[in-house]
Chains A and B, each alone.
Chain A
């Protein structure tokens, strides 16, 4: 049971480039989330999904897109990368059928936009 797996772990982008951060989970969790973590700013919710085919915006969605074609995968797409998107990105999952509220996080993807 690998949990939540993110790739890549590190990436450097030039301004204006695009890329996709991959996230996959093997726990059969129905909810998935993307957060970004900036120094001293905590974790900000970018997008979330409550099931395959369903996505919605979080606190800071501008400049990002997501899709959820399967229960397992929840990729985050950055279009036209900007320096403001330099951050550590965490994917997380949650099983709404449990009595807990615990989010399971991936190890993070550190993105630098130069």
Chain B
């Protein structure tokens, strides 16, 4: 089955710096790759996603890139702000339907003023 690995597990940056989180997946047939943000004590919420027929997607300060050949995808946050501090999860959706997401272990991002 699909397996998703996420790195790093923790990331500390200064406000205004960029942050990059990387994920690899094992199932080459996976076709959808979302990123969820979870603030402390809150529910995970979708922040950006990318489908397998697209190489890059951007939404303001957040971008995601996908390399299907290498089976990895990355989240890029530019001009980080303290409110970006949270745990970020990547996920992959294997083919076969039902939108079952396989999640990475998460990255705890701390943005220091």
Nearest-CB distance from B56 to chain A (Å)?
A: 18
Query: A53 in the interface, Cβ–Cβ < 8 Å?
Result: no
A90 x B44 contact (CB < 8 A): yes
Number of interface residues of A (CB under 8 A): 25
A106 to B46: give the CA distance in the assembly, Å: 13
Nearest-CB distance from B25 to chain A (Å)?
A: 13
Q: Mark B71-113, 1 if CB is under 8 A from A, else 0.
A: 0000000000000000001010100001111111110000000
Contacts of B14 in A (CB 8 A): none
Number of chain B interface residues as a range = 20 to 34
A45 to B46: give the CA distance in the assembly, Å: 17
Total inter-chain residue pairs, C-beta < 8 Å: 57
Contacts of A52 in B (CB 8 A): none
Contacts of A44 in B (CB 8 A): 103
A101 in complex: contacting residue of B34, B43, B103, CB < 8 Å: B34
Contacts of B98 in A (CB 8 A): 31, 48, 50, 56
B105 x A105 contact (CB < 8 A): no
Selecting from A12-20, A35-43, A71-79, the interface stretch reads A35-43
Nearest-CB distance from B27 to chain A (Å)?
A: 13
Residues of B within 8 A of A (CB): 1, 4, 6, 9, 32, 34, 42-46, 49, 89, 91, 93, 98-106
Residues of A within 8 A of B (CB): 31, 33, 35, 40-45, 48, 50, 56, 58-59, 90, 94, 96, 100-103, 105-108
